[in-house]
Chain A
C-alpha cells in the first residue's frame, strides 16, 4: 500500500534561515508525490508535485522539493524562511485508486 511519513511533528526555524520539512514515502510503482500547506482555518493549498524527471521541483511561494529515489524521500525546502511561512505542511502520495494518502503533517514555526 502507498504511504508517506512525516517524522517531525514540528519544525522551528529562524526567519532568513533555510528550512527543510521531511517526508519519506513507500509506493509500488512510480510515485506521484505532493506537498500541501494549510494556514489556520483554511483549506489545503497545493504547493508542488513530483511526477517524473527532474529531482528538484520548484513550487509556489519560493518552495522547492527534492526527490530522492534511493532514500525514498521527498523533502520540502526553502532557502530563506519567512514568518508568514508558519503553517501546517502535508506530504501526500497518490494511491493506485487516485485518492491522496496524507502524512500526519508537520507544523512549521518561523520565528522573527
Chain B
C-alpha cells in the first residue's frame, strides 16, 4: 500500500517568508508526527496528533511554528517568518495509534532551505 507522502520534496524560500509543508499519512493511521532533522541537531520531535485529541505541541521551537490536521488525515506544518536556522529536513511519520509499541512509518521528508 501507499506509504507516507510529503510535499514539496524541496523548498527554497527567502528569509521572512511563510512556508507550508504537507503530509499525507498512511490510510487508517490515527497518529501523525512531525520531526525535524538538521545537521548537528539530529532528529527532534516537533508535534504530534492522535485522533481527535488536542495535539502535543511540546516540541515546537517557537510560536512561528504551527500545525494542523484536517479530518484526521492530511497535516500541514506552517512556519511563519522563516529564519535561516529553520533550514532542515522536515519529516512526517504516522502510526496505527498510540499507547502501544506501534512503529512509526516515515515519509521522504521536505528539505527546507531558507536563504
What residues make up the interface of A, taking CB atoms closer than 8 Å to B? 32, 34, 36, 41-46, 49, 51, 90, 94, 97-105
Contacts and interface: CB of A to CB of B under 8 A. Distances in A.
B107 A100 contact: no
Interface in B4-41: 4, 31, 33, 35
Interface in B37-65: 42-43, 45, 48, 50, 56, 58-59
Interface of B: 4, 31, 33, 35, 42-43, 45, 48, 50, 56, 58-59, 91, 93, 98-99, 101, 103-109
Given A32-B101, A99-B56, A90 B107 contact: no
Given A42-B108, A43-B91, A51-B101, A99 B43 contact: no
27 contacts: A36-B106, A41-B108, A43-B91, A43-B107, A43-B108, A44-B43, A44-B93, A45-B106, A46-B104, A46-B105, A51-B101, A94-B101, A97-B58, A98-B31, A98-B48, A98-B50, A98-B98, A98-B99, A99-B33, A99-B45, A99-B56, A100-B33, A100-B104, A102-B42, A102-B43, A103-B42, A104-B42
